[in-house]
A and B are shown apart, each in its own frame.
Chain A
Amino acid sequence: MMFFSISTGFFAWNLLKWLVLFLVVAAALSFAVRRALKHGVDFRGGAAAESIGAFSRSGVRSFLENCIEPWLALPFSPLLGIGALFLLFVIAVFLG
């Protein structure tokens, strides 16, 4: 049980309660989606359709192309944003 709660002088996070709530709601919603899709899913275009999805092709090369390169390509790279986010979390925790 110790594992499931993080507490400092200021706050106590009860991760177990979060997890239970998340799982219950996720199960309920998944069930609703399953019921809504009980007549089956129509796949448009079939196997002939061009596939570009990051998770629909295997291989290290396609993973690099789809998941890593877009992050490095932009002039204002999202990596910069993530770095800023991390830094701000650290500042908030240590200065706050």
Chain B
Amino acid sequence: MTVMNDIFPLLFNCFVALLLITFVFSAAIKSDRLYQRLAAFVMRKMGRALPALPEAALRAAFHEPASLPGRAAAKVVIYAPALATASLVTLCASLPFCTFIPIIDNGADIIQMAQLLLLSEAFAVAALCSLGTKEGLDFAAAEAKAALRLLVPLAASAASLSFFFTQNGVDRDPFSLNSFSVVGRFSAMSPFGICGSLLFAFIILSQIPHRGTAESSELFEASEMPDFKGAPRSLLQLWSIARSFIIISVVVFVFFPHNIIENIGEGVGIAWYRQALSFAAFWLAVVLARLFVVPLCQFAMNFIERRTPEKYAEAAMPLLLAASMALLWYEGLLLSQEAALF
């Protein structure tokens, strides 16, 4: 009997969580399409060349007759994208805002997130490598590099923010996403800390993998890899879009003013109504960030990299990263010094 009592809530929780994760994935695709249209519209108004045509709808591409390049390692190419997407779903399940009733009991820490991102990255790169063409290898190398440029700032921000929070006397898990909500702490921070955390957000958002500021976050453009078609390709595209969206949602979660929304919701008085309000406000903020903040950050980072001498353009991001880490660590050291004075 006790087993039954355990299993049914678990199944129900899993169902709710998978429903939410499906919602997240479809929101990712929809906002990506919306961004493509927006970018095309802006480009047309400005009289610039239109960006490359977007890929056909993902669902149609999934059921397209499949083809692979001649000497691809077929099993790896076919099944690795599914594994990559599965590890993204696992990552989603450990985020507090993708599962209202947690099915994996933990605090959704950033380290675990980075590990699951690495896992899904490994599967995707394996799929690209086994395509057996020069183009596939180039894609794999570019992909691995882009992933590192994203993961290093993520891990750096986790390390510095957790250092800062432990100096600040956080008694909860310092890596937990829930203790990372920065906005409530801004009043207690000095300008150094505020600058450092904003700079981190800027760096992470500007390193979201993308083909160009006007393009979507898909892995391939429609004209690329004409030999590789069908379900594995569309799963890889889905994986790329969903990964970008999830990372954007994590950054937005850290900077989202939860307490303000809670206060608005309190006037209404009904618990589920408040939940629904904060849910809608949060995901709206994520979509808006995808549409406007991310392109802005990418544009600004491109500008910075163009202004630095060409030889050192690649070092611009690591230098900014070191600066933001130094700012946050300085803030943490200041705090511990104050504590020592007392």
A interface residues (Cβ-Cβ under 8 A, vs B): 10-14, 17-18, 21-23, 25-26, 29-30, 32-33, 36-37, 39-56, 66, 70, 75-76, 78, 81-82, 84-85, 88-89, 91-93, 95-96
Is the C-beta of B74 less than 8 angstroms from some C-beta in chain A?
Answer: yes
Q: What separation, in Å, do the CA atoms of A84 and B174 have in the docked complex?
A: 20
Q: Please, how many residues of chain B have a CB less than 8 angstroms from a CB on the other chain?
A: 70
Q: Is the CB of A12 within 8 A of B105?
A: yes
Of B41-49, B87-95, B183-191, B258-266, the segment with at least 4 beta carbons within 8 Å of chain A is B87-95
Q: Is the CB of A56 within 8 A of B148?
A: no
> A12-B105, A78-B145 known; A95 and B163 CB under 8 Å?
yes
A53 nearest CB across to chain B (Å): 3
Q: Is the CB of B71 within 8 A of A49?
A: yes
Q: Is the CB of B162 within 8 A of A14?
A: no
Q: Is the CB of B89 within 8 A of A25?
A: yes
Q: What separation, in Å, do the CA atoms of A37 and B235 have in the docked complex?
A: 13
Q: Is the CB of A12 within 8 A of B106?
A: yes
The interface residues of chain B lying within 8 Å CB-to-CB of A13 are 106, 112
Is the C-beta of B68 less than 8 angstroms from some C-beta in chain A?
Answer: yes
User: Which A-chain residue is minimally distant from B21 (CB atoms)?
Assistant: A25
Q: What separation, in Å, do the CA atoms of A46 and B101 have in the docked complex?
A: 51
Partner of A11, one of B74, B93, B166, B176: B176
Q: What separation, in Å, do the CA atoms of A38 and B229 have in the docked complex?
A: 14
Of B30-38, B128-136, B195-203, B290-298, the segment with at least 4 beta carbons within 8 Å of chain A is B128-136
Q: Is the CB of B71 within 8 A of A70?
A: no
Q: Is the CB of B70 within 8 A of A45?
A: yes
A62 nearest CB across to chain B (Å): 12
The interface residues of chain B lying within 8 Å CB-to-CB of A88 are 152, 155-156, 158-159
Q: Mark B62-91, 1 if CB is under 8 A from A, else 0.
A: 110111111111101011011101110110
> A85-B152, A88-B158 known; A55 and B73 CB under 8 Å?
yes
For this complex, 22 residue pairs linking A to B, each with C-beta atoms less than 8 Å apart, are A12-B106, A21-B89, A22-B86, A25-B90, A30-B79, A33-B78, A39-B65, A41-B74, A46-B70, A50-B133, A52-B132, A53-B71, A53-B72, A55-B126, A56-B71, A81-B152, A84-B156, A85-B155, A88-B158, A91-B163, A95-B163, A96-B174
The interface residues of chain B lying within 8 Å CB-to-CB of A93 are 111
User: Which A-chain residue is minimally distant from B137 (CB atoms)?
Assistant: A52
